[in-house]
Amino acid sequence: MRRLLRRLPVGLLLAALVTCAPQEAPVVSPAPSGASPEIRIGLLVGASRVTVAGDSGLTLLNADGETTARLDPGATWQARLDGPPLLSFVPPPGGLVSLNGHRYRGRLTVVRDRSGFTAINVVRVEDYLPGVVAAEMGRRDSSDAEALAAQAIVSRTYAIRNLGKWASEGFDLLPTVVDMAYGGVDAEYPLARQAVARTAGQVLTWQGVPIDAFFFSTCAGRTANGTEVFAGADRPYLTSISDLDPNGEPYCRLSPRFRWHEEWSAAELRAVLRQSLPGATAVAPGEVDEIRDVEVTRRTASDRVAEISVTLGARSVDVDGPAVRQVLHPVDQTVLRSAIFRLRADRDGQRLTRLIADGAGAGHGVGFCQWGAVGRARQGQDAATILATYFPGTSLDRAY
């Protein structure tokens, strides 16, 4: 999970890192009996348009599980506010269900909610994961097979650990980076399916319990301690590690987000802060007028930005934790790429005319570095070794 947030020159950061040798790979425990559980994915919430179809036809069930109709292959059904409050759409064995043109395994339930419709994909975890691995890792080739296998285990662990997370909304997980990106059948490709099949049932555990399997894109050479980012993530296996190869180079240097640069003009910065500061501080939008400075005032143990100070005229406002990346977001994005950055400002006297951020990495930095896993796989590490490094002290067990 990439996900909700608490959070040089970059050369100084990298020079301070020490190469971390991979941890000893854990042993996979015997599998208990049992089948892959079902998981409920909230594909749409509050949607105004819901169109359902099935490549092999669909059976429609009401809230009591009774058959109410059958939909022929190629035919479509559209939700109406005056229609049934709940319908389930069940394809025949091997068939797929389509929602607004996107195909999914399992079945689909459409529920009338407060503002429209909630559409829920009910699917076996093992049938759900190929669409997650593919969406999270993108299209990779055979040299990255071990990274895909590691992502499959991390994603399965996250799914099992978080069953019921959104129970009040009627589902378990969202199909976005709030939980895990999920593209359904249309995102799948053979290597992603193979990664899931060869790791079937495997999860990471700590003292017999599936772990909090945090993951993200690019660490830039060092991961973060869990509590640097998530207040409740005080776990022995969520510890900062150096992620450098034997030559002292970050494993994730292949990432397109390894280095980044952002700039805000005075007008752009004012517009961004008028939108973002009120939600994070007691500052009203109208108070964001003359911006004199934005500076980093505190860093975490992994050298990520933990606090910034924004000077508005004669007043300074501190922003810390998760709000840093949300408050100082690019003009065309909702969050700053990572908390590994240096700031510098151009000025006209006391007035700030331009703010510049030079940064590294992408995501919160806790746990499994996806691009680091790709780099490790290409240097010959297997999935178990990769996972033992990012989650030290955990065991690789079978949930089913």
* DSSP of 345-372: EEEETTEEEEEEEEEE-BS--BSEEHHH
The arithmetic mean of pLDDT across residues 180-197, rounded, is: 98
Distance from C-alpha of 361 to C-alpha of 338, rounded to nearest angstrom: 6
177 HSE (CA, 13 A, CB side): 14
**Cβ contact 252:379 at 8 Å:** no
Separation in Å, CA 49 to CA 45, 79, 129: 11, 7, 26
Residue 173: DSSP 8-state: B
Average confidence score pLDDT of the chain: 91
pLDDT band for position 171 (cuts 50, 70, 90): very high
Residue 255: DSSP 8-state: S
pLDDT for the residue numbered 351: 87
- The residues pairing with 107 across neighbouring beta strands, listed in sequence order, are 122
pLDDT for the residue numbered 314: 82
Q: Is the pLDDT of residue 33 over 60?
A: no
The arithmetic mean of pLDDT across residues 26-36, rounded, is: 58
Share of the chain above pLDDT 90, in %: 86
Give how far the C-alpha of residue 20 lies from the chain's centroid of Cα atoms, to the nearest Å. 25
Token pair belonging to 63: 């809230």
- State pTM to two decimals: 0.90
pLDDT for the residue numbered 318: 96
pLDDT for the residue numbered 12: 25
CATH number of the domain located at residue range(s) 38-125 in this protein? 2.60.40
Picking from 50-54, 203-207, 254-258, 287-291, which range would have the lowest pLDDT averaged per residue?
287-291
Picking from 11-25, 202-216, 300-314, which range would have the lowest pLDDT averaged per residue?
11-25
pLDDT for the residue numbered 18: 28
Closest CA to 134 of 195, 204, 214: 195
Length of the chain as a residue count:
400
The arithmetic mean of pLDDT across residues 32-43, rounded, is: 86
Q: Is the pLDDT of residue 313 over 90?
A: no
**Cβ contact 357:328 at 8 Å:** yes
Cβ count within 10 A of residue 281: 16
Q: Is the pLDDT of residue 30 over 50?
A: no
The arithmetic mean of pLDDT across residues 236-257, rounded, is: 98
pLDDT for the residue numbered 109: 98
Closest CA to 195 of 239, 229, 149, 126: 149
Better-predicted residue by pLDDT, 82 or 18:
82
pLDDT for the residue numbered 322: 81
Cβ count within 10 A of residue 98: 21
What would the pLDDT profile of 342-389 be if each residue is shown by its tens digit?
999 999 888 899 999 999 999 999 999 999 999 999 999 999 999 999
pLDDT for the residue numbered 400: 95
Q: Give the Cα-Cα-Cα angle 295, 298, 304 (nearest 5 degrees).
A: 95
Q: Is the pLDDT of residue 141 over 70?
A: yes
Distance from C-alpha of 35 to C-alpha of 149, rounded to nearest angstrom: 20
Q: Is the pLDDT of residue 335 over 70?
A: yes
- The domain ranges of the chain are 38-125, 127-238+365-398, 259-360
Picking from 9-18, 86-95, 263-272, which range would have the lowest pLDDT averaged per residue?
9-18
> What letter represents residue 34's amino acid?
G
Distance from C-alpha of 162 to C-alpha of 146, rounded to nearest angstrom: 24
pLDDT for the residue numbered 1: 56
Q: Is the pLDDT of residue 304 over 90?
A: yes
pLDDT band for position 136 (cuts 50, 70, 90): very high
Q: Give the Cα-Cα-Cα angle 22, 27, 28 (nearest 5 degrees).
A: 125
What would the pLDDT profile of 217-244 be if each residue is shown by its tens digit?
999 999 999 999 998 999 999 999 999 9
pLDDT for the residue numbered 35: 86
Residues 6+ apart with CB under 8 A from 209: none
Q: Give the Cα-Cα-Cα angle 154, 212, 235 (nearest 5 degrees).
A: 130
> What letter represents residue 211's amino acid?
I
Token pair belonging to 32: 């208990």
> What letter represents residue 97's amino acid?
V
